[in-house]
Copies of this chain bind each other. A is one copy, B any other.
Amino acid sequence: MTSQPNASDEPTARADEQRDETPADAGETGPADGPDAADGEPEIVDGRTIEHLLTDHERDIASTAEGTDATAAKRPSLDLPRLELGRRDFMKAGAAVGAMSGLAGCTSILADEDDDSGGAAGSGEHSVAPGEHDEYYGFLSGGHTGEIRVVGLPSMRELMRIPVFQTESARGYGHDAKSSRMLEEEGDGHVWGDTHHPRVSQTDNDYDGRWLFVNDKANGRMARVDLEYFETDAITNVPNCQGVHGACMQLPDTQLVFGVGEFRVPMPNDGRDVQSPDEYGSVITAIDPETMDVEWQVEVDGNMDNGDGGKEGRWFFATGYNSEEGTTEGEMARSDRDYVKAFDIPAIWDAVESGQYEEISGVPVVDGTKDSPLNEGDRPIVRYVATPKSPHGVSVTPNGKYAIASGKLDPSCTVIDIEAIAEVDDPQDAIVGQPRIGMGPLHTAYDGRGHAYTTTFIDSEVVKWDYEAAVEAEAGSEEPVVDRHDVHYNPGHLIAAESYTASPQGDYLVSLNKLSKDRFLPVGPIHPENDQLFHIGDDDAGMQLVKDKPSYPEPHDASIVHKDKIDPAKTWDPDDYELEYVAEGEESFERVDDSTVEIEMWARRNEYAFPEVTLREGDEVRLKISNIETTSDVIHSIAIPEYDINLALAPQDTREVTFTADQPGVFWAYCAYFCSALHLEMRSRILVEPSA
């Protein structure tokens, strides 16, 4: 560690202890081997060097690429050091001198990894012909759009959007009474969210196709999507928590849904302790998947981000950063070690049931901080496993044996033996492997054949490695790595088909790359992301890049589910909806009093039950409407101009809206779903007679 003076101006006791506790310096073996490592002064940022975070591979790119300043190559920074040198430009430069001629379809910059991509994209092997169906559903979060996106694999076609935390007019989400109420009341009235982690419910460690859960990082909420109707059906505003980051489940049977709190804030965050960061806390939240009620929370040290559940239901893992509990970026990244927290779910239930909690904002909050009495003795509720350095992603291997955390600011992944956690005195002794993966490892997925696939944000690669080999190998060894493939560029999450189950499919993998740079036609200063599809089904052939898919900012994570495990409804079953269906002949217009009107009507091809509705200015109107079609895909809507209403009505669906008829005039309610040759003529004339 000669090139890495400890950075912290004010090292905490905790950080010092932690350094003493850590295993061999797994992450530091690389730089000494690097040929250029001694060429320049290591750059010190906020008191820490980052020279050791650069791979030889990355140095080679930097030093050989056209137009790169040699000094710059020696003085890398964590901050996307050479992105101005597009890899595409580099590829073109290579092509210009003949080195890569004929490889128009190839996208990797390493010639020996390249032959796959052009061929794969051009062949029919991973394409889906017109009229044919995809093999998988991909459920991607939409990031700060607030939505979920449904993508078909391997075509990578976006099949549907599901609005979750934002209002959305095509589906009338936030227009009809039920979704408006959900966003307003349960959703705390926010008009956007930041979805990160969509996870599909499981039974017996396999997808059951019932629900999808997703977090809101912006406003501390969790939502549930009904996968029969592909519609958000519940939102929970999580108290004592700002920024629910991770979203994941207790397995094998989705007994609980966990929201992993990120930002440390006063609890409750009502103005108290504003200037006392020591009093801030962060919590994980256990939510009942059926009721979506908060069952309990556990307060921990430091910030958390991602999580995953063990396959046997006892342990839940969350990564974290800022064990320093700093409030600035410089303070947050000082320590060499942060923690993977292993939550002992039965022990937490015992604590809750025996009253060992503080009720805050109506929720039992159990103290799981390091110094908590509940973490003393032989059954601590939270075990803190120190790993290098701000571990970001954590995921459990399909066989349930290991939890693997990615180092983020350290080039290693850490393999934790789950069974050992309960057995060892020192949680560090549960660490059984720590291979060197590459620069900026963030997330890990599985193929079910013993391979882990880890994204490296700075190296812009997916790295395939053998996790049993990593247990056998020395810490810091690259030997477990069996394949690498460039991605374009800077990946966050990646996901393999059914990677979160006990039986991953092992054929496809998607890398959710944060930057696309020049991979697509330019569309202005806001670029799309690039979700790249790889075929990983042939270990001999290695990873094959199949498709680039541009994505509207900003997908974070995904779940990939085989088509046979999802069984969506094709029309609504009126019995499944809270509102009573309005059949033909049951339409009614009732003036309840001088200023209240109740309308019940239906829609079908070309007409609404009432071709004309007369209201008085100021009327409070409750309008309920059913689509009485029985044919799937014959969707109608009722759009009311100037009144900001558009209710989407799938066949047999019933929706309701309330509004005040505060604008006098003529308003032609119309169907916004093109439904027949006389679609344009499908209208109801709403006459609002002036009060004067």
13 contacts between A and B (CB under 8 A): A83-B634, A104-B129, A121-B127, A122-B127, A144-B169, A159-B521, A266-B665, A321-B680, A327-B612, A392-B680, A458-B677, A522-B570, A526-B635
Instruction: Say yes or no: is A67 at the interface (Cβ < 8 Å to chain B).
Output: no
Interface residues of A in 505-537 (CB under 8 A from B): 514-517, 519-528, 532
Task: Let me know if B133 and A129 touch, CB within 8 A.
Answer: no
Instruction: Say yes or no: is A492 at the interface (Cβ < 8 Å to chain B).
Output: yes
> Interface residue count for A (Cβ, 8 Å)?
167
With contacts A265-B668, A550-B159 taken as known, whether A633 is within 8 angstroms of B517 at the C-beta atoms is: yes
| Residue among B219, B612, B631, B672 making CB contact with A328, cutoff 8 Å | B612
Instruction: Say yes or no: is A687 at the interface (Cβ < 8 Å to chain B).
Output: yes
Q: Which residue of B lies closest to A150 (CB)?
A: B523
A674, chain B: closest CB distance, angstroms: 4
Q: Which residue of B lies closest to A684 (CB)?
A: B328
CA distance A88 to B568 in the complex (A): 19
A269, chain B: closest CB distance, angstroms: 4
Instruction: Say yes or no: is A632 at the interface (Cβ < 8 Å to chain B).
Output: yes
| Chain B residues in 8 Å Cβ range of A169 | 144-146, 166, 191-193
Q: Mark A178-191, 1 if CB is under 8 A from B, else 0.
A: 00000000000011
| Chain B residues in 8 Å Cβ range of A124 | 105, 121-123
Instruction: Say yes or no: is A58 at the interface (Cβ < 8 Å to chain B).
Output: no
Interface residues of A in 474-503 (CB under 8 A from B): 488, 490, 492
Instruction: Say yes or no: is A205 at the interface (Cβ < 8 Å to chain B).
Output: no
Most buried by B among A130, A137, A321, A515: A130
Instruction: Say yes or no: is A131 at the interface (Cβ < 8 Å to chain B).
Output: yes
Most buried by B among A84, A123, A488, A520: A520
Q: Mark A314-336, 1 if CB is under 8 A from B, else 0.
A: 00000001100001110011000
Of A2-10, A366-374, A641-649, the one contacting chain B is: A641-649
Of A344-352, A420-428, A541-549, the one contacting chain B is: A541-549
CA distance A272 to B689 in the complex (A): 8
Task: Let me know if B639 and A194 touch, CB within 8 A.
Answer: yes
With contacts A131-B107, A329-B683, A641-B263 taken as known, whether A157 is within 8 angstroms of B520 at the C-beta atoms is: yes
Of A26-34, A228-236, A430-438, the one contacting chain B is: A228-236
With contacts A274-B688, A526-B650, A648-B526 taken as known, whether A242 is within 8 angstroms of B160 at the C-beta atoms is: no
Task: Let me know if A651 and B220 touch, CB within 8 A.
Answer: no
| Chain B residues in 8 Å Cβ range of A231 | 524
Instruction: Say yes or no: is A552 at the interface (Cβ < 8 Å to chain B).
Output: yes
A173, chain B: closest CB distance, angstroms: 10
| Chain B residues in 8 Å Cβ range of A392 | 680
A564, chain B: closest CB distance, angstroms: 11
Instruction: Say yes or no: is A218 at the interface (Cβ < 8 Å to chain B).
Output: yes
With contacts A124-B122, A169-B144 taken as known, whether A524 is within 8 angstroms of B641 at the C-beta atoms is: no
| Chain B residues in 8 Å Cβ range of A569 | 524-525
Task: Let me know if B271 and A131 touch, CB within 8 A.
Answer: no
Q: Which residue of B lies closest to A692 (CB)?
A: B271
